[in-house]
């Protein structure tokens, strides 16, 4: 059963362009005597003229805030379910459930619907696609052995159109120039990789990662990588603090194979993302888990001790032992998308026992008197570095 609903259009499609020469021409021909009253309108009034009617399946759940738009109705007899593996500009690589890789564009309807997202489609999205006219999958009872990594859309034998994007869960995203940038969708877990040296460990960046994961409800594992280049005992306090927050911490090294076996066990059968700064060794860890991937790696810059961008796009990779991993591009900053002060305090789990004890219900924990959170920091019940990370996110600092 289907129903009609009204949906918002993107802002750049809301108002039709006005002919700026119409008034001048009207006056030049002296038509003022025949002009209509100023209270009359030629166009439809108000927001009703800036919406569109679409058909929707009546059983769809549309109250998910992470949906890439409303869910239009589709003909499931003519469409195929699949997962987005990679985005190439205006094209996406989608792998169907039976293993075919298809180069797809996005249906125009999905592009015009209002959304705050930077892109309509993201790696990891579950979608429904339709092959272009005349193309058909070969009739075979055997499951296709698709390559582990997504190919370029122009090199694929099949082409189609993405007709619908399903509701998302486990979304890893950040803010880019005022737009929501979804890195990977439908994650089961995320590994935040930080190196102890080359580049140097930034504790406040770990706190930002954890806050972003807490907002999306994604289980998180922190990898302290390149541990073979430092004394592991120096990071005992950091590891203990993270584990008290309920975060699993792995000490890893692609060079010495430390922690690689445990890492391989954790990714098996799940959709996981590896995220972190450039140069921390995300691709090296994935190569250690499955050597056949042969992902590119680069040395850290000798000029500024920062990583060089090697991975340039979010790419889902299938593992031989089961599961998917996403090697995301390196990020030197990580802002949380549209988070208010009231929401931000809840993303720091160690703040929660003290928030309700503040005198003012709208306390921002920055300057207010009798603030229980600041009191907990003074009594060392909350680590000072965690509080400074909170202030940095609140004020929009790197």
Output the pLDDT for position 76.
Answer: 84
- Say which CATH topology domain 172-327 has: Rossmann fold (3.40.50)
Q: Cα 84 to chain center, whole Å?
A: 13
Query: Are the CB atoms for 307 and 294 separated by under 8 Å?
Result: no
Tokens of 103: 């180069």
- Strands 126-131 and 324-327 come out as unpaired
pLDDT above 90: percentage of residues in the chain: 38
For residue range 127-172, list pLDDT tens digits in order: 999 999 878 888 765 666 667 777 778 788 899 999 999 988 998 8
Query: How do the domains of the chain map onto residue ranges?
Result: 1-15+49-168, 172-327, 341-395
Output the pLDDT for position 314.
Answer: 73
Query: Are the CB atoms for 57 and 108 separated by under 8 Å?
Result: no
Q: Which of 28-37, 112-121, 381-390 has the lowest mean pLDDT?
A: 28-37
Q: Examine the pLDDT at 306 and tell me if it is beyond 60.
A: no
For residue range 68-83, list pLDDT tens digits in order: 445 777 888 889 999 9
CB-count burial class (<10 Å; 0-12, 13-18, 19+) for 120: buried
Most confident of 130-139, 177-186, 252-261, 388-397: 252-261
Q: Which of 36-45, 101-110, 313-322 has the lowest mean pLDDT?
A: 36-45
Output the pLDDT for position 305.
Answer: 45
Torsion of CA 196, 201, 206, 207, to 10 degrees: 140
For residue range 335-363, list pLDDT tens digits in order: 565 677 788 898 999 999 999 999 999 99
CB-count burial class (<10 Å; 0-12, 13-18, 19+) for 280: buried
Query: Are the CB atoms for 386 and 204 separated by under 8 Å?
Result: no
- Say which CATH topology domain 1-15+49-168 has: OB fold (Dihydrolipoamide Acetyltransferase, E2P) (2.40.50)
Output the pLDDT for position 353.
Answer: 94
Output the pLDDT for position 268.
Answer: 93
Q: Angle CA(128)–CA(133)–CA(136) in degrees, nearest 5?
A: 70
Q: Examine the pLDDT at 94 and tell me if it is beyond 90.
A: yes
Q: Which of 17-26, 28-37, 68-77, 285-294 has the lowest mean pLDDT?
A: 28-37
Q: What is the band of 61 on the pLDDT scale with cuts at 50, 70, 90?
A: very low
Q: Examine the pLDDT at 177 and tell me if it is beyond 50.
A: yes
Output the pLDDT for position 14.
Answer: 47
pLDDT above 70: percentage of residues in the chain: 71
Output the pLDDT for position 373.
Answer: 96
Average pLDDT, the chain: 79
Output the pLDDT for position 312.
Answer: 44
Provide CATH code, domain 341-395.
Answer: 1.10.40.50
Q: Examine the pLDDT at 309 and tell me if it is beyond 50.
A: no
Q: What is the band of 96 on the pLDDT scale with cuts at 50, 70, 90?
A: very high
For residue range 242-272, list pLDDT tens digits in order: 999 999 999 999 999 999 999 999 999 999 9
């Amino acid at each position: 059963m289907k129903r009609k609903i009204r949906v918002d259009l993107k802002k750049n499609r809301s108002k039709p362009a006005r002919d700026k020469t119409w008034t001048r021409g009207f006056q030049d021909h002296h038509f003022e005597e025949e002009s209509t009253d100023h209270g009359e309108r030629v166009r439809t009034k108000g927001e009703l003229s800036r919406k569109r009617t679409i058909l929707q399946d009546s059983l769809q759940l549309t109250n998910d805030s992470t949906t890439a738009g409303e869910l239009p109705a589709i003909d499931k007899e003519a469409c195929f379910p699949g997962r987005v593996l990679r985005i190439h500009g205006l094209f996406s690589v989608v792998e169907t459930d039976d293993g075919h890789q298809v180069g797809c564009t996005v249906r125009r309807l999905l592009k015009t619907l209002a959304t705050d997202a930077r892109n309509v489609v993201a790696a990891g999205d579950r979608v429904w696609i339709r092959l272009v006219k005349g193309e058909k999958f070969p009739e075979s009872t055997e499951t296709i052995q698709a390559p582990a990594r997504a190919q370029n859309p122009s090199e694929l034998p099949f082409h189609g159109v993405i007709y619908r994007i399903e509701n998302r869960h486990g979304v890893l995203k950040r803010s880019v120039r005022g737009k929501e940038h979804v890195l990977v969708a439908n994650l089961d877990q995320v590994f935040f990789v930080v190196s102890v040296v080359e580049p140097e460990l930034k504790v406040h960046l770990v706190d930002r990662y954890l806050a972003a994961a807490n907002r999306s409800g994604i289980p998180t594992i922190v990898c302290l990588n390149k541990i073979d280049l430092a004394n592991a005992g120096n990071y005992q306090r950091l590891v203990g603090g993270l584990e008290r927050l309920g975060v699993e911490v792995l000490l890893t090294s692609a060079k010495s194979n430390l922690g690689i076996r445990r890492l391989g066990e954790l990714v098996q059968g799940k959709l996981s993302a590896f995220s972190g700064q450039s140069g921390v060794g995300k691709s090296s860890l994935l190569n250690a888990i499955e050597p056949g991937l042969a992902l590119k790696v680069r040395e850290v810059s000798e000029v500024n001790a920062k990583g060089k961008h090697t991975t340039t796009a979010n790419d889902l990779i299938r593992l031989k032992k089961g599961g998917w991993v996403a090697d995301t591009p390196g990020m030197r900053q990580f802002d949380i998308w549209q988070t208010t002060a009231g929401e931000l305090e809840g993303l720091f789990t160690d703040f929660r026992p003290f928030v309700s004890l503040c005198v003012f219900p709208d306390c921002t924990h920055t300057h207010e008197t009798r603030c229980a959170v600041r009191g907990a920091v003074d009594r060392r019940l909350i680590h000072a570095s965690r509080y400074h990370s909170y202030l940095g996110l609140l004020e929009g600092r790197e």
